[in-house]
Chains A and B, each alone.
Chain A
Amino acid sequence: MANRLNRLVCGGAFAIGLFAGVSAARADTTLLNVSYDPTREFYKAINEGFAAKWKAETGEDVTIEQSHGGSGKQARAVIDGLEADVVTLALAYDIDAIAQNSDLIDKDWQKRLPHNSSPYTSTIVFLVRKGNPKNIKDWPDLLKEDIQVITPNPKTSGGARWNYLAAWAYALQQSGGDEAKAKQFVGNLYSRVPVLDTGARGSTTTFAQRGLGDVLLTWENEAHLAVKQLGADKIEIVVPSASILAEPPVALVDSNVDDHETRKVAEAYLEYLYSPEAQEIAAKNFYRPTDQAVATKYKSQFPEIPLVTIADTFGGWQEAQKKHFADGGIFDQIYRPGQ
């Protein structure tokens, strides 16, 4: 027995040694891209493209690691010490949150790259069951008698906040700027939501895989990907008459790149996102490119509808967050689960 326990202790010591080895085994150049939910496939392609380009230009190998989850949750993880070199989140507010709650990112991050640091944009569309059995064409149709709407929780998901604001902007426009009417519209909309998932991808699986609800509010790119993955014979996309210009921004995490000595390659990575090559990858993954030439090339893929911006309609993310999504904000007032 003594022998057996000795072996056990040795085994434990060996395992601890092994594990020390694992934590030290970070390849020479490794970047960690902490991103939001629906970008997995897109960044998989981007990472391959960038690694090849970097190798050709500098001869160095670079590995980019990916982490995905609800945008707000991911920002929280970075604040708590997840050592991201770059963050590519769903909305500017979440990167602001990192800049405000830690000294990781320069407060003026959004001015450092073109287009408000958003290399690609998107919008919010509807996903319905094949043949559109409930005849959902535009925002008011979401409030028809028995329609159930699937959208994630705006407290944790970036996409969900865009969904909410798109609905609000539509109602505001329809009522000629009457906020009480907008509040009523959005309140009615959320009373039809049976499950609030924490992230956009969770909602997509709830709608498409588990078959809940009649319509899913989601990113345009996520809708296209769902149709591609799950089959055009099951679901189809409906583009409403108006929506919102969603700008998912990217930023360098200054303190972390300085600690890792990866500033140069991380900067090149973010700049690469604006290159024609990466813009093509974005368009192929159904993100709206900001590069004019690429945008023209893929024009047929992205229906032209009036898109309001967060800056014009809501006075920027800080304002929108405070008014709508903060504790006690309008979302808390209108969302009453189980009623």
Chain B
Amino acid sequence: METQTAGPATAAKVRRATTESPLVRWALIATGMLFIALVLVLPLISVFMEALSGGFATFFQAVGNADTWQAVRLTLLVAAIAVPLNVVFGLAAAWAVAKFDFRGKSLLVTLIDLPFSVSPVISGLIYVLLYGANGWFGPALKELDIKIIFNVTGLVLATVFVTFPFVARELIPLMQEQGRDEEEAAISLGASGWRTFWYVTLPNVAWGLLYGVLLCNARAMGEFGAVSVVSGHIRGLTNTMPLHVEILYNEYDFVGAFAVASLLAGLAIVTLVAKSLLEWRYGDRLAGGRKH
């Protein structure tokens, strides 16, 4: 997503700007393409091939299984909770960082990036250490009969943690680039802070926000490591789709495993297509959001 779409004009410029022979350029392009084919396209094709290796009937039988449907529902549910939470958080954080100066601002920006740098397994373990039966809050939670770990709540928490930089990271550069002029104008004309946010700030970042939501959603549905630690692997209850793929694979149900994997890949492809459509339709407005 770092490569800007190059129109004919830019392509001509590139040609003039480099001195490499066409051979070198083609070799570079071929290497890139080959790499993408080997690392991305081929595995993706193999997922669908394996899923359909037993014919469509077996595929639909595997997909129609009650445990599989539960995994799909749970995955969508977890994403449906985690993504809105991160939208609220991301908007608030990006607004604070881009429009105000305060002590600890760079610390906040660093902390937002933390989930990117921490291994997902650790992200899961910290919740076990906090909310597990022997964790810091474990006894108190038991007293109140609140279950967090090995429960949907734990899955949501772990997913929120892993995906929370996506929206904020998308919005911060966009908002910083836009500056504070429009907000200042709105306020000087007598608008309240809330009204300014609602009618000035939010419409300006709407597409960047949507883009962040899509990325956040894709990761929320696909997360494995963190949710694996807090799930407890109860089939039909706390298995999300990625976990269910592992279970089916371990049960020698290879067609089933790849069928669910292809569903997951399908959801990711839908997300990608939506993202590409947005880029194509609103490329200019989105461009600001992609500069990191």
- Determine if chain A interacts with chain B: yes
Q: In the assembly, what is the distance between CA of A77 and CA of B138, in Å?
A: 13
Highest count of chain B CB atoms <10 Å: which of A16, A37, A230: A16
Q: Which single member of B153, B198, B233, B249 contacts A68 (CB below 8 Å)? A: B233
| Interface residues of chain B: helix, strand, loop or mixed (majority) | helix
B233 touches A79 (CB 8 A): no
Interface string of A138-159 (1 = CB under 8 A from B): 0000000000000000000000
Q: How far is the CB of A82 from chain B (nearest CB, A)?
A: 4
Q: Does A301 contact B (CB under 8 A)?
A: no
- Residues of chain B lying within 8 A (CB to CB) of residue A83: 147, 150
* Chain B residues numbered 238-259 whose CB sits less than 8 Å from any CB in chain A: 247, 249-252, 254
Q: How far is the CB of B101 from chain A (nearest CB, A)?
A: 26
Highest count of chain B CB atoms <10 Å: which of A9, A22, A101, A102: A22
In the complex, the chain B residue whose C-beta lies closest to that of A68 is B233
Q: Does B120 contact A (CB under 8 A)?
A: no
Contact of A19 with B81 at beta-carbon distance under 8 Å, contacts A8-B87, A80-B132, A81-B132 already known: yes
A67 touches B235 (CB 8 A): yes
* Chain A residues numbered 66-114 whose CB sits less than 8 Å from any CB in chain B: 66-69, 77, 79-83, 101-102
A18 touches B84 (CB 8 A): no
- Residues of chain A lying within 8 A (CB to CB) of residue B237: 65
B156 touches A79 (CB 8 A): no
Interface string of B221-238 (1 = CB under 8 A from A): 000000000001111110
- Residues of chain A lying within 8 A (CB to CB) of residue B19: none
Q: Which single member of B81, B153, B251 contacts A41 (CB below 8 Å)? A: B251
Interface string of B198-212 (1 = CB under 8 A from A): 110011001000000
B252 touches A229 (CB 8 A): yes
Q: Does B134 contact A (CB under 8 A)?
A: yes
* Chain A residues numbered 6-39 whose CB sits less than 8 Å from any CB in chain B: 8-9, 11-12, 15-16, 18-19, 22-23, 32, 37
Q: In the assembly, what is the distance between CA of A2 and CA of B198, in Å?
A: 7
Q: How far is the CB of B152 from chain A (nearest CB, A)?
A: 5
How many residue pairs, one in A and one in B, have C-beta atoms under 8 Å apart? 92
Q: In the assembly, what is the distance between CA of A267 and CA of B233, in Å?
A: 23
B134 touches A5 (CB 8 A): no
B138 touches A81 (CB 8 A): yes
Interface residues on B, range: 35 or more
Q: Which single member of A22, A65, A209 contacts B235 (CB below 8 Å)? A: A65
Interface string of A186-219 (1 = CB under 8 A from B): 0000000000000001100100010000000000
A18 touches B77 (CB 8 A): yes
| Interface residues of chain A: helix, strand, loop or mixed (majority) | helix
- Residues of chain A lying within 8 A (CB to CB) of residue B247: 68
Q: How far is the CB of A163 from chain B (nearest CB, A)?
A: 19
A201 touches B134 (CB 8 A): no
Q: How far is the CB of B290 from chain A (nearest CB, A)?
A: 22
Q: In the assembly, what is the distance between CA of A226 and CA of B247, in Å?
A: 16
A77 touches B150 (CB 8 A): yes
Q: Does A40 contact B (CB under 8 A)?
A: yes
Q: Does B85 contact A (CB under 8 A)?
A: yes
B134 touches A80 (CB 8 A): yes
Q: In the assembly, what is the distance between CA of A230 and CA of B251, in Å?
A: 11
Q: Which single member of A1, A9, A19 contacts B198 (CB below 8 Å)? A: A1
* Chain A residues numbered 34-57 whose CB sits less than 8 Å from any CB in chain B: 37, 40-41
- Residues of chain A lying within 8 A (CB to CB) of residue B133: 79-81, 102
Q: Does B128 contact A (CB under 8 A)?
A: yes
A230 touches B232 (CB 8 A): no
- Residues of chain A lying within 8 A (CB to CB) of residue B131: 81
- Residues of chain B lying within 8 A (CB to CB) of residue A16: 81
B149 touches A81 (CB 8 A): yes
Q: Does B135 contact A (CB under 8 A)?
A: yes
B128 touches A80 (CB 8 A): yes
Q: In the assembly, what is the distance between CA of A15 and CA of B81, in Å?
A: 6
- Residues of chain A lying within 8 A (CB to CB) of residue B149: 80-82
Q: In the assembly, what is the distance between CA of A200 and CA of B235, in Å?
A: 19
Interface residues of A (CB under 8 A from B): 1-2, 5, 8-9, 11-12, 15-16, 18-19, 22-23, 32, 37, 40-41, 65-69, 77, 79-83, 101-102, 201-202, 205, 209, 226, 229-230
Interface residues of B (CB under 8 A from A): 74, 77, 80-81, 84-85, 87, 128, 131-135, 138, 142, 147, 149-153, 156, 198-199, 202-203, 206, 232-237, 247, 249-252, 254
For the complex with contacts A1-B198, A5-B202, 5 further pairs of A-B residues with Cβ separation under 8 Å are: A1-B199, A19-B77, A80-B133, A81-B131, A82-B150
A sample of 17 cross-chain residue pairs with beta-carbon separation below 8 angstroms, ordered by A number, consists of: A5-B198, A11-B80, A15-B81, A18-B77, A19-B77, A19-B152, A22-B74, A22-B152, A32-B234, A37-B250, A41-B251, A65-B235, A67-B234, A80-B134, A81-B142, A82-B232, A202-B250
Closest 7 pairs (CB-CB, A-B): A81-B133, A12-B84, A80-B132, A229-B252, A15-B80, A82-B232, A82-B150
